[in-house]
Structure 1
Amino acid sequence: MKKVLLFLAPLLIAIAIFFGILFFLDRKGGKGALQVTSVPQSKVYLENKLLGTTPLCACELEQMLDIGDHTVKLVPVQENFRPFENKITINKGTLTVVDRTFADSGESDGSIISLSPLNDKKDIEVLVISLPDRANVFLDNNPVGVTPLLLKQVSESDHDLRITQDGYKDKSIKIKTALGFKLNALLFLGVKVDLSPTPVASSQASISPENKVSKVLILNTPTGFLRVREDSSIASAEIARVTPGETYELVSEKENWFEIKLNTGKTGWVNSAYAVKE
């Protein structure tokens, strides 16, 4: 129970100050706030510059960030976990909340929550995006559709948002909608681990290859494909595209990248945020 409370505490704190940020920020400054939580503790980088360690809240006026798109990166203090990197949007006078729970490859989960202003100041919307997509969405335990999903005319209140998909752990978060804003929820699902007992090995000898070939499974992406690059960098040239659900032979790996062998025989690099070793 203590572990559960410790895990929920940062997210509950974020929700508690979500609206406070909306009404007490200096809206003339063109700034927005950022809160980052993680399990385990992580170093937080923004545009490759160290901001601090989690739990982190750039919520004071002098700490706030320029509005616009930014790249945030979380590097766990436990080196056996892969760093997490993603684009975030800082909007004027609002709080963007990033949360990440690190686990073994493919099992990590998290969320990025932000608010963006609507033209109709009397309207409320909730946009739910998941990785992978086509997840079932429940709002206050009521099924409302599958991701990606835009909900309109949502009540101004606290809500329970939950998404589910076969083969992945359920993801639940608390949200609070605001009049005149669209709440953007980007949710990352962790692969569900099969805890069934391992069958007892047969006493009969069996022939198996000396070196088992590792495979890489391509996960769902927002674009419906994943770019294969010449080198392990987003600045490297794109040499091919692969499709979610396909598997490829793993050649080597670096931090945040897998080198795979394509069907053409060529090799290239894919971002490990959208792929998992089998």
Structure 2
Amino acid sequence: MRKVRLFALVFLLIILIIGFSFFLIGYLKPKVAGIYIETNPPSSVFIEAVQVGRTPYRETRNPGEITLKLVPESFEKPLAFYETKVNLITGIETVVKRAFGELDETSSGEMISFEKEGKDEASLIVLSIPDSAQLSLDGSQRYITPHKITDILPGEHTLVLSTSGYFERYVKVKTHAGYKLTALVQLAKKEEEKEEEPAELPEEKGKKEGPKVEILSTSTGFLRVRKEPSTLGEEIAKVMPGEIYDLLAIDERTGWFKIAYEQGKEGWISNQYARKVEEEEAKDKISTPSATPTSKLKISVTPTPTPKPTTTP
């Protein structure tokens, strides 16, 4: 009996030592925070005035406040750099997205972060630049920023922010039980539009056609048509290399082309995979367009609060 008690005591002591060791390892293990950065166009990343890489960029660092600076890589026209303070929280990956413009006010983007709360409910806070923007949640509920929602269901949600004189911005987030999600969204200010020339009469239209663009070859075999002149814009169709479309406009910030890919349907394509052609050249190369609406394709998208970037044409 004494041997049994001794054995039980030794066994219990071993269990306690192992448990304490695991606790000590977890306690002494350095706590880290994460940051993920995605920009359009790509940019150099500076943290505390030290260049650490280029976008897309992901890293784990010690928790605390950092000074983040993003310098866009632009070869056509100078774009405004972005500098801000970011508070990195233990166990949380903060997401920063930025679409650069020539000025800070014509740039857009968002910063998404999480914070652990003492309850099992999910909550959402939406802040905006400028303030008092209209906020649409999942296409139905409407609010004015800044706004906090304390009873939001965990899962994926779509935010649409808009205000007069600024471009709309779509943001996809995923809330989690026990965490507060904070989304700080900056809208891009619209530039003053130039007066449009009077529409041509039908007989004049027949005499002279507008400029056109030719789709160049891509690594994917097609080129995405987007709702906005940015790789972050919503995909609405696809066009094929060799096809020629009417050129409607050129975005002053990115150089992207706006085309009429179907009768009554317009979208933006990257100027990196298309070129402007003159009327006579277009007549020699003209081919029948066959844009493919995105809604007819089988696409599976699962957004998360820390999405991995996919740079596509």
Same fold per TM (> 0.5)?
yes
**How far apart are the structure 1 equivalents of 2:125 and 2:188?**
20
Given the alignment of the two structures, is residue 35 of structure 1 paired with residue 36 of structure 2, yes or no? yes
5 Å-filtered alignment, 1:124-135, equals 124-135=122-133
Structure 1 position 195, deviation (Å): 3.5
Greater C-alpha Rg: 2
**How far apart are the structure 1 equivalents of 2:52 and 2:139?**
37
**How far apart are the structure 2 equivalents of 1:123 and 1:177?**
10
- Which residue does the alignment assign to 1:73? 69
**How far apart are the structure 2 equivalents of 1:179 and 1:83?**
36
- Which residue does the alignment assign to 2:302? none
- Which residue does the alignment assign to 1:171? 169
Structure 1 position 198, deviation (Å): 5.2
**How far apart are the structure 2 equivalents of 1:135 and 1:29?**
40
Unmatched runs of 5 consecutive residues or more in structure 1 = 1-25, 59-63, 201-278
Alignment-mate amino acid for residue 188 of structure 1: Q
Alignment-mate amino acid for residue 77 of structure 1: E
**How far apart are the structure 2 equivalents of 1:171 and 1:33?**
25
Alignment-mate amino acid for residue 146 of structure 2: P
**How far apart are the structure 2 equivalents of 1:99 and 1:193?**
21
Cα RMSD for the two superposed structures:
1.9
SS in 1 for 2:152: coil
**How far apart are the structure 1 equivalents of 2:65 and 2:143?**
28
**How far apart are the structure 1 equivalents of 2:139 and 2:83?**
31
Change over 3 Å in CA distance of 1:156–1:133 after alignment to 2: same
The runs of at least 4 consecutive aligned structure 1 residues that moved more than 6 Å come to: none
Given the alignment of the two structures, is residue 144 of structure 1 paired with residue 142 of structure 2, yes or no? yes
Structure 1 position 50, deviation (Å): 1.3
SS in 2 for 1:193: coil
Is the 1:89–1:114 contact (alpha carbons within 8 Å) kept by the matching residues of 2?
A: no
Normalising by structure 1, what TM-score? 0.57
**How far apart are the structure 1 equivalents of 2:186 and 2:49?**
22
Deviations 1:65-109 (A, max 9, x none): 111221111011227011101111211111111010011222110
Unmatched runs of 5 consecutive residues or more in structure 2 = 1-25, 199-313
- Which residue does the alignment assign to 1:110? 109
**How far apart are the structure 1 equivalents of 2:86 and 2:140?**
28
**How far apart are the structure 1 equivalents of 2:133 and 2:141?**
11
**How far apart are the structure 2 equivalents of 1:136 and 1:127?**
14
Alignment-mate amino acid for residue 74 of structure 1: L
**How far apart are the structure 1 equivalents of 2:167 and 2:141?**
17
Is the 1:136–1:143 contact (alpha carbons within 8 Å) kept by the matching residues of 2?
A: no
SS in 2 for 1:153: strand
Structure 1 position 36, deviation (Å): 0.5
- Which residue does the alignment assign to 2:303? none
5 Å-filtered alignment, 1:1-278, equals 29-58=30-59, 64-78=60-74, 80-105=78-103, 106-120=105-119, 122-197=120-195
**How far apart are the structure 1 equivalents of 2:141 and 2:110?**
20
- Which residue does the alignment assign to 1:252? none
